Amino acid sequence: MIDLQEELGKKTPRYSMKHRRLIEGFARKGAIDYHEKGEKSYDLGKFFTNFYELYIYAAFIGLYKDNPVPISDDEETKTFGVPMRDWSSNDSGQTVQYLWMSMLVKSKLDFNTLEDMEQKDVEREMRNISKLIEAYANGGFDFINSKVNENPAFFDDEDCFVKLLKEVEVK
């Protein structure tokens, strides 16, 4: 029997390096716990504790906007070096599972066929799901970046990312 969580958990989705400054501007690299020193993430100019938390957020923005933007083969990319099974700080593990469920639905993957596939074919399908996550995250980053360019002061508010979600609410 195929364990989709295990298969997807092995994946380390990429992001386009064109979004690196955006990611670094809103998230810290690594799970460094500044809270021990009494500092909050936003006190450090950051809204997300880890890069991958912003990535998850961007993927959902891309999903809500129905804006998958595949990463082209000639784009420079990078991963966070952490497989998705380990994206679990600040209780984000369950959010990752919601992301997987959303992408499985978007992929229109036939689960009956999946059961009969050989392992190499299952791995190919999971790579396709990972690429779909990348595409929606890329679309989400494009949207966030356009908001930064349109109104940089919007991000001076500590609730800006909650307000941004309200802007892309599914109607």
Burial of 49 (0-12, 13-18, 19+ CB in 10 A): buried
Task: Sketch the domain layout of the chain as residue ranges.
Answer: 4-167
Report pTM. Answer: 0.86
Q: What whole-number distance in Å separates Cα of residue 40 and Cα of residue 59?
A: 24
Each residue's pLDDT expressed in tens, for the chain with a length of 171 residues: 578 888 889 999 999 999 999 999 998 765 444 444 444 444 454 788 888 999 999 999 999 999 999 999 999 999 988 899 888 766 666 888 899 999 999 998 888 888 888 989 989 999 999 999 999 999 999 999 999 999 999 999 989 999 999 888 754
Give, in degrees to the nearest 5, the angle at Cα 159 between 87 and 47.
35
